[in-house]
Amino acid sequence: MLVQRFARNRQCFPASERPLDRAAGIFRRAENRQVFEILTHTGLPALRAALDAEFKEWKNGKVTPDSRLDPRMPVRLADGILGSLEVLAVYGQADDLPRIVDAARARVLAGDDRWTAVLGGLGRHAETARVALDALAEPLPEGALGVAVLGLANRLCRENRVARHPFDSQAGRERLGAYLRAAEPTNSSVPIAAAAALPFISKRDALLKLADSHPAPRVQLEAAWARAFLGQADGFARLARQARDPLQAQVAISYLRELGREDLLPKSASDPSFAAQAELAAWLARPSEFGRAPDKLIEVEQRELAWPTGGWKQLRLYRYLYHPEGDNPLVDGFAVLGLNRIFSMKATRGVLDVQPSEIYASACCWDLQQSGDPRAEGCDVQRGLELLGLKAKPRATP
């Protein structure tokens, strides 16, 4: 195994090519319980040995011949360390907690968003997560690491696993206020996390008002949940209104159900077209996509097609639009729902000039690739059209 070879013979690898992060990727691809168990018993000890050696080198600032040639070497070391910590967090062995805490206290890539995945992985293991939170709460870390601590604390508080939120202090409230004032329209995940903490914070009124007036609708929705969680009627009324908006509905509906108020759900919640729009809007709002719901979402058509991977697919085609904002250009895109995953294609310069049949053809090639189908090799729009039995309409000459 790559990680075992690396652990035994680290110096055989050039520093710029040390495959710790690549080796950690093996653990992320565990396909079943049997593979998971094998990696736990035979792979983790080797990964720990390699990680400990790399962390020691990074912490001591050791200068190797390779790092003199490559000034990016400390960052590359830290990349491998952080990738390995993600694995250890998910595997949840109690003995690995000191490694995660030590790296966090040493501020290894403290500005890297992967800390959310590291501490989020710990959240699956209640007692380990609680111990980690206690160790990292004082002083509160800065950067993405601090946001990751906030997310872990929110989760444990909602599950009643900790008695006190680490941000429930003067310094913590000031940090939450800063998060809520820093409006970033393309990424509202930080103020969302700040708003989600408010039910567990004392002296919260000013912070609630900040969250209520935040320019991002998703943050306003989180503020509505916070008020509803606290039993405030206004919070429930806001969630009920947002549940009628397909751009915000999926989260609002889940919150009403979580809070036991299904009686406030709109009739549209059971409509398939509305549910599909809500699903797509929530998917587009993921941090890995656009970080917020689109400004406009239009259903183009519904179509049933015989799909190459088997069976008939009832597909819905949507067009979405993001208006230019700050440094972010206009985004015009299409999405197909009805496959195992949502397919999306977009243009960030001008309008996307493409026909529905061509979109389905592109989705076909993509789906074959995702399925590991050998027909994916060399698949293009023309081949996708042939596989689906479709034809593109001739384009008008200008």
Q: Are residues 185 and 279 in the same domain?
A: yes
Convert the pLDDT of each residue in 14-56 to its tens digit: 444 455 656 666 666 666 677 667 777 777 888 888 888 888 8
What is the distance of C-alpha 351 from the center of its chain?
28
> How many Å apart are CA 253 and CA 243, to the nearest integer?
6
Query: What is residue 64's predicted lDDT score, i.e. its pLDDT?
Result: 44
Each residue of 136-166: b (16+ CB within 10 Å) or e? Answer: bbeebbeebbbbbbbbbbbbbbeeeebeebb
Instruction: Choose between 396 and 100: higher pLDDT.
Output: 100
Q: Looking at the domain assignment, is residue 111 inside a domain?
A: no
Q: Looking at the domain assignment, is residue 267 inside a domain?
A: yes
> How many Å apart are CA 78 and CA 92, to the nearest integer?
21
- CA dihedral 60→64→70→71, nearest 10 degrees, is 30
Q: Are residues 195 and 253 in the same domain?
A: yes
Cα dihedral sign for 229, 234, 239, 242?
negative
Instruction: Choose between 287 and 139: higher pLDDT.
Output: 139
DSSP 278: H
Q: Are residues 173 and 267 in the same domain?
A: yes
Q: Are residues 373 and 332 in the same domain?
A: yes
pLDDT band at 158; cut points 50, 70, 90 = very high
Query: What is residue 23's predicted lDDT score, i.e. its pLDDT?
Result: 64
Q: Looking at the domain assignment, is residue 18 inside a domain?
A: no
Q: Looking at the domain assignment, is residue 119 inside a domain?
A: no
Residue where one domain finishes, among candidates 284, 316, 342:
284
Do 151 and 190 meet the contact criterion of CB atoms below 8 Å apart?
no
Structure tokens at 282: 């929530």
- Quickly tell me which residue has 């549209």 as its tokens: 268
Q: Looking at the domain assignment, is residue 64 inside a domain?
A: no
Q: Looking at the domain assignment, is residue 224 inside a domain?
A: yes
> How many Å apart are CA 374 and CA 197, to the nearest integer?
48
Q: Are residues 307 and 379 in the same domain?
A: yes
- Burial (CB < 10 A; 0-12, 13-18, 19+), residue 49, is middle
Q: Looking at the domain assignment, is residue 71 inside a domain?
A: no
Q: Are residues 208 and 302 in the same domain?
A: no
Query: What is residue 25's predicted lDDT score, i.e. its pLDDT?
Result: 63
Q: Using a pLDDT cut of 70, give the percent of the chain over it.
A: 84
> How many Å apart are CA 75 and CA 79, to the nearest integer?
6
Q: Among 252, 279, 389, which residue's Cα sits nearest to residue 338?
A: 279
Helix ranges (DSSP H) in the chain: 2-8, 20-28, 33-38, 44-60, 65-69, 73-91, 97-105, 114-122, 126-136, 143-158, 170-181, 189-197, 205-212, 217-229, 233-242, 249-258, 272-284, 356-370, 381-388
Q: Are residues 216 and 266 in the same domain?
A: yes
Query: What is residue 66's predicted lDDT score, i.e. its pLDDT?
Result: 39
Residue range of the domain that includes 240: 167-284
> How many Å apart are CA 245 and CA 269, to the nearest integer?
10
Q: Are residues 335 and 251 in the same domain?
A: no
> How many Å apart are CA 301 and CA 70, to the nearest integer?
53
Q: Are residues 207 and 263 in the same domain?
A: yes
Q: Are residues 320 and 379 in the same domain?
A: yes
Convert the pLDDT of each residue in 273-317 to its tens digit: 999 999 999 999 988 898 889 999 999 999 999 999 888 999 999
pTM of this structure: 0.79
Q: What is the mean pLDDT of residues 155-162?
A: 92
Counted domains in the chain:
2
Residue where one domain finishes, among candidates 246, 261, 284:
284
Q: Looking at the domain assignment, is residue 270 inside a domain?
A: yes
Q: Are residues 237 and 176 in the same domain?
A: yes
Cβ-Cβ contacts under 8 Å for 227 (sequence gap 6 or more): 208, 234, 235, 238
Residue where one domain finishes, among candidates 229, 256, 284:
284
- Of 98-112, 168-182, 254-268, least confident by mean pLDDT is 98-112
Structure tokens at 154: 């929110």
Q: Are residues 307 and 280 in the same domain?
A: no
**CA angle at 133 for the pair 128 and 136, rounded to the nearest 5°:** 125
